[in-house]
Amino acid sequence: MYNKDFYYKDSTMCGIIAPRGVGKTLLLTALAHEELTDALNNGYENFRIYHNGFLKKGWWVKQFGGDYLVEFGLQDIIETVQSENSTMSNGLVLIDEIASVQDNRYGAMGYGNILFSHWVVMIRKIGLTIMWAGQNEEVERRLKMQCDLVGYPVVARADKGKKAGITFVYQNGTYSYEGNRRKFLFNDLNKFWNAYDTSRIIKSQQINKRDINMMEEGNLQEEIFNQIYDHLENKTNKRMNIMEIKKLTGVDWNIKKLDNYIRYFGNSVKGNKGMFTFNQLYD
């Protein structure tokens, strides 16, 4: 629902994918600077840049005369999903090196991916747009499917980080290189060189029993998703009913719980109770 207090009327998730050294972090920083500038110029003083630790506070305070940065970590994501209440709202969420959500003590146990997906669904309803950067081989499948836009940057080595081009592709609910495209050229990027620090490491938090229980649930959800995806991948008919899914996965959930989870990535077939179509996973 529209909220006049939010800068973003329609929240978006945008991924930037490229190999190392192409300027992903530099572009994230430049885009964040552009968004914060525009938000403040339009009177949204409560607009914030939420980041996973790579932006340098001092540089931003000097530029904008105030502290508009909020650092967050995986523990904050956990608490948001558990409580169903976010301390974030009305701003831009930046995640550099998206694998950092996966490559930690949570992600190593299969928890990071599924939890992050649930978190994305939640925060997009409270005026937050998400931008992340990563290498193609490290980007998890479920995350890719949730993107509205994907940017593919290129850089001429001779420019030495001063210029970068990027092609944004409108995904329209799918993750493929087809779709509407727009190309942009960013100049004078050297002015952002001191705005971030890619060497910073976000420390993991201690894990408790409740977290472990959620991890186990996340592992099972991940397994159910993958079983359905693999089962239908080579089939023409991408439909399954809830009982077929229950038999395929062997999950001991009740029908209501399984139905609620399937709705995260499957579309319910109108007029056919318990039937889902998964065509959108393969487009």
In a domain, 7, yes or no: no
242: CATH? 1.10.10
Predicted local distance difference test score (pLDDT) of residue 279: 87
Q: Cα(62)–Cα(78) distance, rounded to whole angstroms? A: 32
Please state, rounded to an integer, the average pLDDT across all residues of the chain.
81
Number of domains in the chain: 2
168 and 252, same structural domain? no
235 and 143, same structural domain? no
- Higher pLDDT pick, 208 / 85: 85
Predicted local distance difference test score (pLDDT) of residue 13: 87
- Higher pLDDT pick, 33 / 203: 33
134 and 23, same structural domain? yes
**Percent of the chain clearing pLDDT 90 (strictly above):** 37
138-159 pLDDT, tens per residue? 666 667 777 888 898 988 766 7
Question: Which has the minimum average pLDDT: 73-77, 85-89, 177-181, 256-260?
Answer: 177-181
40-44, 197-201, 220-224: range with highest mean pLDDT: 40-44
112 and 171, same structural domain? yes
Q: Cα(82)–Cα(186) distance, rounded to whole angstroms? A: 40
Neighbours of 195 (CB within 10 A): 20
- C-alpha closest to that of 77 among 127, 110, 115: 115
The domain boundary, picked from 192, 223, 250, lies at 192
The SS3 assignment for 170 reads: strand
224 and 186, same structural domain? no
Q: Cα(266)–Cα(228) distance, rounded to whole angstroms? A: 10
The domain in which residue 258 lies consists of: 209-281
The domain boundary, picked from 192, 222, 246, lies at 192
pTM confidence score: 0.67
Q: Cα(267)–Cα(256) distance, rounded to whole angstroms? A: 15
